[in-house]
Every structure is written in structure tokens, then in C-alpha cells.
């Protein structure tokens, strides 16, 4: 039995969105995973170092799944609901969670960490990353690439030619080099996403707030209904996420 537009939207609008757990979308949306397996890569690096920092950890779910941690393991997060969730999840594992926004400076001494990691940072502050890394230390991250999920973004906002040029991997690599880091890896992939009902769309836009800034169900009600009818007709709405594996090293 098909559920109504109103029922699907109301359910998604009431769902909690703190943290970085997307299990609510199971059966309602899918996304291909990058081939490199970021959490596995991160876990391997964490097992090799003495001090590590995870930037913008969200609710701590990705870091918690890494398993083994170095003697000193710190995570930062700026959104208050995520800080609370990350603290509950990571403190029992021996991880110190520091409430800190996305803007520099980082509240750590020079050359404090062997490894800095981040999954989907809003913006990598390269000079600060270089500052807190020890000589020979590494930055390992999965960045969001250019025009990620823009089929959905532009459905609501119209064409975004300037925004499509943002998050260019080669520009980010150049900025890392300018900060004094050696770029080891820049590996982009574009991955298929499928949305099977309008509730999945509402939930994603509430959770990933930078896709459609200021998103509210009431504000975009007409476009949401149009997209609901399109999904009902076609069975799916297809978009593509952009992901980039980035590794940089601080020279000895």
C-alpha cells in the first residue's frame, strides 16, 4: 500500500537527525560506497601512531568503528547535539571530545599529532592541519567533491554554476602544498544515489544542512510535492555524490 505524501513528509520531519548515522534511510535510499573503504584505511593508520586527531567527527560513529586507538586520541566537533552524542559514544572508548567550531585556530599545540583524519570536513584548514602535525605526520581524509548530490540541490535551488566549481580536488591539493604539505593522494569518485520516497529526501536535507541551506518543509512544500509525484511515477530519483580520498604528509 502506497503511503501518502503528507504521511511520508511528516514522518521524516519528526525523525531525529543528530549524529552521522544514516540507518533511518535503510530501504528508502541507497548510496554507492567509495572503493577505498575510508573507515578501514583510517583504522589501519590509527593502529600505527601514538597521537591522532579526528576533525569534525560528527556523532563519532565513523571514528568509533575504527576499533583500536592510539594512546592519545582526540576528536573535535562544532554542532552541540553532535558534541553530546560523540561524547557519549567516544568517551567510554578513551577518546577525548573537544567542542570546537569549523574555524581556525585549532585548540592544540604545534606538532601535537602524528595523524589528522576527517570524513567530509566542511572545509580543510590546511595551515592549521600542517601546524598541528608532527614532521613526518599525515593527513588522511575523505572529502566531499564538486557538485555532490547536485541533481537534488538544483531541483530545489535551480542551476548553481558557481557552486558547481567549488570543492575542486586539484585546488584543494594546491592549497595543501601552499601550506607546506606534500600531497600523496587525490582520488575522486562519483557514486550513484537512489531515493525511493520523498521522506528520504526530507530526512537527508534536514540532516545534511548545507545541501539546501535553510531547508524547511513548509518553505519547499510545492517542490517536495512535485518530486514526490516524480518518484511515484518513476519509482526512484537518481543523484550522484562526489567523494575524494585525500592524503598529505608533513615533510620531515
The pLDDT tens digits of the residues spanning 25-36 come to: 999 999 999 999
Q: What letters, b where the CB count within 10 A reaches 16 and e where it falls short, cover 202-233?
A: bbbbbbbeebbeebeeeebeeebeebbeebee
SS3 assignment, position 199: helix
For 100, how many CA atoms within 13 A lie in the half-sphere containing its CB?
18
pLDDT digits (tens, 9 = 90+) for 109-138: 999 999 999 999 999 999 999 999 999 999
pLDDT at site 20? 83
Which cell numbers hold the place of 212?
A: 539546501
Can you give the pLDDT at residue 2?
85
As given in the structure block, the three cell numbers for residue 232 are 511515484
Ordered by where they begin, the domains of the chain are 5-249 (3.40.50.150)
For 15-93, where are the alpha helices, taking DSSP H only?
A: 38-46, 61-64, 80-90
Quote the pLDDT of residue 243. 98
Is pLDDT above 90 for 102? Answer: no
- Cell triple for residue 142? 575523505
Average pLDDT of 67-90? Answer: 95
Q: How confident is the model at residue 245 (pLDDT cuts 50, 70, 90)?
A: very high
Q: How confident is the model at residue 237 (pLDDT cuts 50, 70, 90)?
A: very high
pTM of the model: 0.93
pLDDT at 32: 97
Amino acid at each position: 500500500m502506497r503511503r501518502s505524501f503528507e504521511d511520508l513528509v511528516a514522518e521524516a520531519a519528526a525523525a531525529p537527525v543528530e549524529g552521522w548515522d544514516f540507518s533511518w534511510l535503510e530501504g528508502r535510499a541507497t548510496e554507492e560506497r567509495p572503493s577505498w573503504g575510508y573507515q578501514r584505511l583510517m583504522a589501519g593508520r590509527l593502529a600505527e601512531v601514538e597521537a591522532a586527531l579526528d576533525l569534525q567527527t560528527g556523532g563519532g560513529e565513523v571514528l568509533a568503528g575504527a576499533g583500536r586507538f592510539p594512546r592519545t586520541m582526540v576528536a573535535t566537533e562544532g554542532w552541540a547535539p553532535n558534541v553530546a552524542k560523540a561524547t557519549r559514544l567516544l568517551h567510554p572508548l578513551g577518546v577525548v571530545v573537544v567542542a570546537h567550531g569549523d574555524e581556525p585556530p585549532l585548540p592544540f599545540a604545534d606538532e601535537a599529532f602524528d595523524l589528522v583524519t576527517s570524513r567530509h570536513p566542511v572545509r580543510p584548514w590546511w595551515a592549521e592541519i600542517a601546524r598541528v602535525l608532527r614532521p613526518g605526520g599525515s593527513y588522511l581524509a575523505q572529502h566531499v567533491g564538486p557538485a555532490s548530490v547536485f541533481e537534488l540541490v538544483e531541483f530545489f535551488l535551480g542551476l548553481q554554476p558557481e557552486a558547481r566549481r567549488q570543492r575542486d580536488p586539484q585546488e584543494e591539493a594546491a592549497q595543501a602544498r601552499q601550506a607546506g604539505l606534500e600531497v600523496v593522494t587525490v582520488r575522486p569518485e562519483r557514486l550513484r544515489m537512489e531515493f525511493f520516497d520523498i521522506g528520504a529526501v526530507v530526512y537527508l536535507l534536514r540532516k545534511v544542512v548545507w545541501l539546501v541551506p535553510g531547508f524547511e518543509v513548509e518553505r519547499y512544500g510545492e517542490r517536495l510535492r512535485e518530486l514526490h509525484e516524480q518518484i511515484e511515477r518513476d519509482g526512484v530519483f537518481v543523484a550522484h555524490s562526489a567523494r575524494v580520498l585525500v592524503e598529505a604528509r608533513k615533510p620531515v
